[in-house]
């Protein structure tokens, strides 16, 4: 199945800035996170698709390759970007070098191991305050029995007699000299006559490692922590790649985060909204008193300065914005209903003066229908 366009996956334009890409990824990731969609078999696929798109578009080099060559430019199986792959210029170096006899010449030393990505789910509290988490990462590690050589202990690989250790052979085809991967050693430049039984001559074995990850305060969904040298071991004793731990902040029961600010809804009673009062509201630092002025309407925002998030890249602490939601009384008894009816009668002909929004709304509706008659 062909892949969807990365810009389409995140719902952004092709000239979108990094900040827009990050906001778009956060929105899509929250929508399709597997924890929020346990009964949707497609949610996990869409979540991974969005994460892949974010990885490519937030990397300037990979994004440039994708913009120019599409998915082929970032497909590691085609020599493109992505974890463990070379850049797209390698394709042309190989193709034109092989045809015209140039190329990069030789194997250029041991190959670096692949980078790995680990998605870390954390709570909003841990994302804001910071924490240390232990994770388990399965990866290819250097075989301890042969120290990555692939040869049985006491023996060692020998230089390939076909290519002389270069890893490539030249063949004459008409007027052209074509360079190809050595069929004997498959590009390694060495052959192993007595392979290590533990890794079967590969020099690497699959192993699950425990790592401690220090999450700094202020991280958000989409942020990545790079652990140098904690990726896969390189083949033939090559240096290891890196491990990228990508943050995924779980949905909170009370707060919603937007950048450095937090938002929450505060339900208030009909009486408190009309007469005013004082409420206790939660923050990540504990409870605080919130003064509700008389005649408060649904939707009014109360700003608690400094009760938001301190950005991981520095800057001032954000705010907590509480949105008032006036609750209509339910399950009223006869006496309570009678009191409300009495209250409504007490408003008399001036009732609209106590409901300015309702009055302006009806006036707007009236004008709307009058305009339709014209």
What is the per-residue pLDDT for 181? 82
Q: Tens of pLDDT along 26-43? A: 888 888 887 778 788 788
What is the per-residue pLDDT for 84? 37
Q: What percent of the chain has pLDDT over 70?
A: 83
The yes-or-no verdict on residue 148 having pLDDT over 60 is yes
Q: How confident is the model at residue 95 (pLDDT cuts 50, 70, 90)?
A: very low
Sequence-ordered list of residues with C-beta below 8 angstroms from that of 217, at least 6 positions apart, any chain: 128, 129, 130, 310, 312
Question: pTM to 2 decimals?
Answer: 0.61
CA distance 280 to 282: 7
Count of CA atoms in the C-beta half-sphere (13 A) of 220: 21
What 3-state DSSP class applies to 236?
helix
The yes-or-no verdict on residue 156 having pLDDT over 80 is yes
The yes-or-no verdict on residue 182 having pLDDT over 60 is yes
Of the candidate ranges 176-180, 196-200, 207-211, the one whose mean pLDDT is the lowest: 176-180
Q: b/e per residue, 269-296, with b = 16+ CB within 10 A?
A: eeebbeeebebebebbeeeeebebeeeb
Counting DSSP H helices and E strands in the chain, the numbers are: 10, 15
Of 72 and 191, more confident: 191
Of the candidate ranges 26-40, 237-251, 256-270, 324-338, the one whose mean pLDDT is the lowest: 26-40
Task: Tell me the average pLDDT across 297-308.
Answer: 93
Q: What is the mean pLDDT of the chain?
A: 81
Of the candidate ranges 137-141, 223-227, 236-240, the one whose mean pLDDT is the lowest: 236-240
The yes-or-no verdict on residue 11 having pLDDT over 80 is yes
What is the per-residue pLDDT for 296? 92
Give me the DSSP letters along 179-225.
Answer: EEE-TTTTTSSEE-SSB-TTTTTSSEEEEEEEEEEEEPTT--TT-EE
What is the per-residue pLDDT for 38? 77
Task: Tell me the average pLDDT across 68-77.
Answer: 71
The yes-or-no verdict on residue 197 having pLDDT over 80 is yes
CA distance 84 to 94: 17
Query: Is the Cβ–Cβ distance between 116 and 135 less than 8 Å?
Result: no
What is the per-residue pLDDT for 191? 84
The yes-or-no verdict on residue 126 having pLDDT over 50 is yes
CA distance 212 to 5: 35
| DSSP 8-state secondary structure symbol assigned to residue 36 | T
Task: Tell me the average pLDDT across 57-80.
Answer: 74
The yes-or-no verdict on residue 64 having pLDDT over 90 is no
The yes-or-no verdict on residue 309 having pLDDT over 70 is yes
What is the per-residue pLDDT for 354? 65
Instruction: Output the six-digit token pair for 123.
Output: 């709570």
Q: Which of 182, 180, 197, 188 is nearest to 107 (CA)?
A: 188
Task: Tell me the average pLDDT across 350-365.
Answer: 65
What is the per-residue pLDDT for 173? 60
CA distance 291 to 53: 45
Of 305 and 352, more confident: 305
Q: What are phi and psi of 288, to 5 degrees?
A: -135, 160
The yes-or-no verdict on residue 164 having pLDDT over 70 is yes
Q: Look-up: residue for tokens 């007699």?
A: 161
Domains in the chain (CATH in brackets) are: 112-144+201-250 (2.60.260.20), 256-328 (2.60.260.20)
What is the per-residue pLDDT for 352? 58
């Amino acid at each position: 199945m062909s892949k969807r366009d990365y810009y389409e996956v995140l719902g952004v334009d092709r000239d979108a800035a990094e900040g827009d890409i990050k906001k778009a990824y956060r929105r899509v990731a929250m929508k399709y996170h597997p924890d929020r969609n346990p009964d949707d078999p497609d949610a996990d696929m869409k979540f991974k698709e969005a994460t892949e798109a974010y990885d490519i578009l937030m990397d300037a080099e990979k994004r440039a390759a994708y913009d120019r060559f599409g998915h082929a430019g970032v497909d590691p199986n085609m020599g493109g970007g992505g974890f463990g792959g070379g850049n797209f210029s390698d394709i042309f170096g190989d193709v034109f070098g092989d045809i015209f006899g140039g190329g990069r010449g030789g194997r250029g030393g041991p190959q670096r191991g692949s980078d790995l990505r680990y998605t870390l789910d954390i709570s909003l509290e841990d994302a804001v305050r910071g924490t240390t988490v232990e994770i388990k990462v399965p990866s290819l590690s250097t075989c301890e029995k042969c120290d990555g050589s692939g040869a049985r202990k006491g023996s060692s690989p020998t230089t390939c007699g076909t290519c002389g250790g270069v890893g490539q052979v030249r063949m004459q085809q008409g007027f052209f000299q074509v360079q190809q991967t050595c069929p004997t050693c498959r590009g390694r430049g060495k052959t192993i006559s007595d392979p290590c039984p533990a890794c079967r001559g590969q020099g690497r074995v699959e192993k699950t490692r425990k790592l401690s990850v220090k999450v700094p305060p202020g991280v958000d969904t989409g942020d990545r922590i790079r652990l140098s040298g904690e990726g896969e071991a390189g083949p033939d004793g090559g240096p290891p790649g890196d491990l990228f731990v990508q943050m995924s902040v779980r949905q909170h029961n009370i707060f919603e985060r937007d950048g450095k600010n937090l938002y929450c809804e505060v339900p208030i009673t009909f009486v408190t909204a009309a007469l005013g009062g004082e409420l206790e509201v939660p923050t990540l630092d504990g409870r605080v008193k919130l003064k509700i002025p008389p005649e408060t309407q649904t939707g009014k925002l109360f700003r608690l300065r400094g009760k938001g998030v301190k950005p991981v890249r520095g800057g001032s602490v954000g705010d907590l914005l509480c949105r008032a939601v006036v609750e209509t009384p339910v399950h009223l008894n006869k006496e309570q209903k009678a009191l409300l009816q009495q209250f409504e009668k007490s408003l008399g002909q001036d009732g609209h003066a106590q409901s300015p929004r309702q009055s302006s709304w009806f006036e707007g509706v009236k004008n709307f229908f009058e305009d339709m008659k014209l």
